[in-house]
């Protein structure tokens, strides 16, 4: 059973992310550039703004927040505060790069970092998460742990379940992990809300099926990036994902929503 402990400020922040009506959430992930992963649409980042209204929360880095998100936005911010590695070197070699004062100044609703279970810098990444959890307890800020998957790590329920469970036991409020076969074993072993990452761009119907499966197998939502903004209809796609997450529609119904969406972002 999912049980979240916290005081008023902590729960107020969390309730802005996980919608109280459905118990679910759609996060728009736009933090890719922090380790040098710059997919197509991110080259014109400001044009992603039309997507923001369809997300329950934006997950991003502070540079992106400051330069690409209007200050009058009414969306909770999940701030990535880990950095220090690029795709050109060892990805697990991250540290926390944002102070708690800066996060508070940015009025964020949650903090996030990656953990690399089995990675070269596993310990460092787990202690990064612990640092965020400690800050979160002190300042009332939920933590989203991302179970990053290095080149040599399996994407199966055993590995992702273990990594998600570890994140929960270290005190993460929510876990973001990858969808896999037998995903109910991942959600079943992690006693906190779980969202799935979208991963690399796949055909729209497959991404919708993955979202449907994840919800059916106990995820509270998705934290999706490329499968939304690299779609030929990013607005149609985020609306379709939203319908699965919040309105429990079928994949066929969601696919119709996507097909009826405007082409491009304008
Ligand atoms: C990487 C991340 C990214 O935010 C996330 O995976 C990107 O979303 P998507 O895979 O859907 O493009 O946390 O560790």
Q: Which residues pair with 222 in a beta bridge?
A: 26, 196
Q: Which two tokens stand for residue 162?
A: 């273990």
pLDDT digits (tens, 9 = 90+) for 38-91: 776 665 666 789 999 999 999 999 999 999 999 999 999 999 999 988 888 888
Pocket of ligand 1 contains residue 91 by CB under 6 Å:
no
Active-site position among 21, 176, 201, 217: 176
Instruction: Kindly give the distance from the C-alpha atom of residue 29 to the centroid of ligand 1, in angstroms, as a whole number.
Output: 6
pLDDT digits (tens, 9 = 90+) for 135-147: 999 999 999 999 9
Token duo for residue 188: 């079943």
Q: What is the pLDDT of residue 182?
A: 98
pLDDT score at 45: 66
Atom from ligand 1 closest to the CA of residue 146 = 13
Q: What is the 3-state secondary structure (H, E, C) of the chain?
A: CCCCCCCHHHHHHHHHHCCCCCCCEEEEECCHHHHCCCCHHHHHHHHHHHHHHHCCEEEEEHHHHHHHCCCCCCCCEEEECEECCCCCCCCCCCEECCCHHHHHHCCCCEEEEEECCCCCCHHHHHHHHHHHHHHHHHHCCCEEEEECCCCCCCCCHHHHHHHHHHHHHCCCCEEEECCCCCHHHHHHHCCCCEEEECCCCCCHHHHHHHHHHHHHCCCCEEEECHHHHCCCCHHHHHHHHHHHHHHCCCHHHHHHHHHCCCCCCC
The yes-or-no verdict on residue 259 having pLDDT over 80 is yes
Give the pLDDT confidence score for residue 1 in this predicted structure.
Answer: 47
Domains and CATH numbers, the chain: 8-259 (3.20.20.70)
Higher pLDDT, 5 or 154: 154
What is the whole-number distance in angstroms between the Cα of residue 27 and the centre of ligand 1? 10
**Which atom of ligand 1 has the smallest separation from the CA of 201?**
12
d(CA 199, CA 179): 9
Testing ligand 1's pocket by substitution, the residue of 27, 30, 31 carrying the most ligand atoms inside 8 A of its CB is: 31
Mutate to test the pocket of ligand 1, among 172, 225, 229, 234 (most ligand atoms within 8 A of CB): 225
Pocket of ligand 1, candidates 55, 223, 234: which has the most ligand atoms within 8 Å of its Cβ, to mutate?
Answer: 223
Q: Is 176 a catalytic residue?
A: yes
More confident residue, 216 or 42: 216
Mean pLDDT in residue range 240-259: 98
Q: What is the mean pLDDT of residues 216-225?
A: 98
Taking only the tens place, the pLDDT of each residue in 110-139 is 999 999 999 999 999 999 999 999 999 999
Residue closest via CA to ligand 1's atom 14 equals 148
Question: Does 8 have pLDDT greater than 90?
Answer: yes
């Amino acid at each position: 059973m999912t049980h979240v402990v916290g005081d008023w400020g902590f729960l107020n922040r969390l309730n802005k992310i996980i919608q109280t009506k459905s118990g679910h959430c759609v996060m728009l992930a736009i933090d890719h550039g922090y380790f040098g992963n710059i997919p197509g649409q991110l080259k014109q980042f400001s044009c992603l703004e039309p997507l923001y209204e369809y997300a329950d929360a934006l997950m991003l880095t502070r540079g992106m927040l400051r330069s690409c998100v209007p200050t009058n936005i009414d969306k909770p911010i999940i701030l990535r505060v880990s950095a220090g590695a690029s795709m050109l070197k060892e990805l697990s070699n991250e540290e926390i790069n944002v102070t708690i004062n800066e996060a508070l100044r940015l009025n964020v609703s949650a903090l996030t970092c990656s953990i690399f279970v089995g990675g070269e810098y596993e310990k460092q990444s787990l202690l990064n998460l612990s640092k965020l959890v400690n800050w979160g307890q002190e300042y009332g800020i939920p933590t989203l742990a991302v179970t990053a998957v290095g080149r040599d790590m399996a994407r199966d329920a055993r590995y992702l379940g273990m990594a998600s469970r570890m994140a929960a036991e270290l005190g993460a409020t929510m876990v973001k992990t990858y969808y896999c076969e037998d995903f109910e074993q991942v959600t079943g072993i992690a006693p906190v809300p779980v969202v799935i990452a979208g991963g690399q761009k796949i055909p729209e119907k497959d991404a919708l099926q993955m979202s449907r499966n994840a919800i059916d197998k106990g995820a509270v939502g998705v934290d999706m990036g490329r499968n939304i903004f690299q779609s030929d209809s990013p607005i149609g796609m985020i609306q379709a994902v939203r319908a699965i997450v919040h309105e429990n529609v079928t994949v066929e119904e969601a696919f119709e929503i996507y097909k009826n969406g405007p082409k491009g972002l304008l």
